[in-house]
Amino acid sequence: MFQLRSLVTALALLGSISIANAWEVLPTQAPQPLDNPSTPEKIELGKMLYHDPRLSSTGTVSCASCHNTMLGGEDNRANSMGVQAELGGRSAPTVWNSAFNKVQFWDGRAATLEEQAAGPVTSPVEMGMKNWDEVVARLKSISGYEKAFKDVYGENTISKDNATKAIAAYERTLITPNSPYDKFVGGDKSALSTQQIRGMEKVAELGCTSCHSGSAFNGAGTFQKFPMIADGYLEAKFHFTKDKGVAEVSKKAEDEHFWKVPTLRNVALTAPYFHNGSVATLDEAVKIMAKTQLNKELAKDEVANIVAFLNGLTGEFPKQTMPTLPPTFGKTVN
């Protein structure tokens, strides 16, 4: 009787979710730019470079250090730690499903994965290399990379362009489809619990998907002001406006506190939350978003339902195998 009642309730809730929300299933493949088609060899080279700490000045930090593909695609830290224990000013965004972002970084300063891959390597608080000439020289000093690059690019030499294209090709494989939500939208009406369906309905009712739209729930390259509604208590506690967001790059006052809309995919795995990693739990993040963006106070059960739904956005992670990196024999590159 309980199961039947739950099924009837779930179907009633399903019927109340507006078709206008256009719930979308996550694609299983990412679009590829015409100038960077993927091949198995390029993906493998990109995986090597992504996991090689020798692309950092100290030989201790790789892309994977802050964007861990063994976890939620980031490092679960408020501020990521780079070379010499330097702390960045922002929380690392997830690399999972980043191929579906139309812009990269919290402030959207990179238009492509290729452009994004070039940035952290020469950031003084991230990987700390002086410039890409130094990076290329180091890669050339590691026997094994020359063959790996040649297998991918023919007679082309090791270069910044080829390295970042390979890293981007690997990152385009980091897709997490088939979440309970995807299965539900695809027709399996038992894939989400009654509570998760209530949360899905509430997300639609509140208009959360007006910003977190599309199959990746990331707004497909849109920017949004955060916080929209000033709250002295929340600001004193979390310091949201200390960082000016897009304006840090554009230097325009009208861009202050605008941010790329982050994906909600796998959000249950990527605490702490917001650009500065100041909020420890997903429950708190949901309440803050309702207050600062919608000027709404959510009831305890509404928060719980939304959090349950967000847990339903955790997808299936493709198995990751660690690459064997080209060795250096009898010497170090540092």
Model pLDDT, residue 6:
41
Model pLDDT, residue 207:
95
Residues 285-332 pLDDT 10s = 999 999 999 999 999 999 999 999 999 999 999 999 999 999 988 888
For residue 21, pLDDT over 60 is answered with no
Percent of the chain clearing pLDDT 90 (strictly above):
89
φ, ψ for residue 41 (rounded to 5)? -70, -40
Given 74, 126, 171, 302, the catalytic residue: 126
- To the query of whether residue 284 is one of the catalytic residues in this protein, the response is no
Query: Rounded to the nearest 10 degrees, what angle do helices 300-311 and 194-206 cross at?
Result: 110
Using the structure block, give the residue that is written with the tokens 């939304």.
Answer: 306
**If we measure between CA atoms, which residue out of 268, 271, 244 comes closest to residue 106?**
244
For residue 183, pLDDT over 80 is answered with yes
Could you say which DSSP state residue 102 is in? S
As a whole number of Å, the CA-based R_g of the chain is 21
Residues 46-71 pLDDT 10s = 999 999 999 999 999 999 999 999 99
Model pLDDT, residue 156:
75
Average per-residue pLDDT for the chain: 93
Helix%, strand%, coil% for the chain, nearest 5: 45, 5, 50
Q: Where in the chain is the domain with CATH 1.10.760.10?
A: 2-28+177-311, 40-171
Percent of the chain clearing pLDDT 70 (strictly above):
93
Average of pLDDT values for 178-186?
Answer: 98
- Rounded distance, CA 179 to CA 174, Å? 14
For residue 159, pLDDT over 70 is answered with yes
Average of pLDDT values for 139-144?
Answer: 94
CATH homologous superfamily of 40-171 equals Cytochrome c-like domain (1.10.760.10)
Confidence of residue 221 (pLDDT cuts 50, 70, 90): confident
Average of pLDDT values for 24-46?
Answer: 96
CATH 1.20.1080.10 applies to domain 2-28+177-311: no
**DSSP letter string over 215-265?**
TTTSTTS-EEES-SS--HHHHHHH-GGGS-BTHHHH--GGGTTEEEPPP-T
Model pLDDT, residue 240:
98
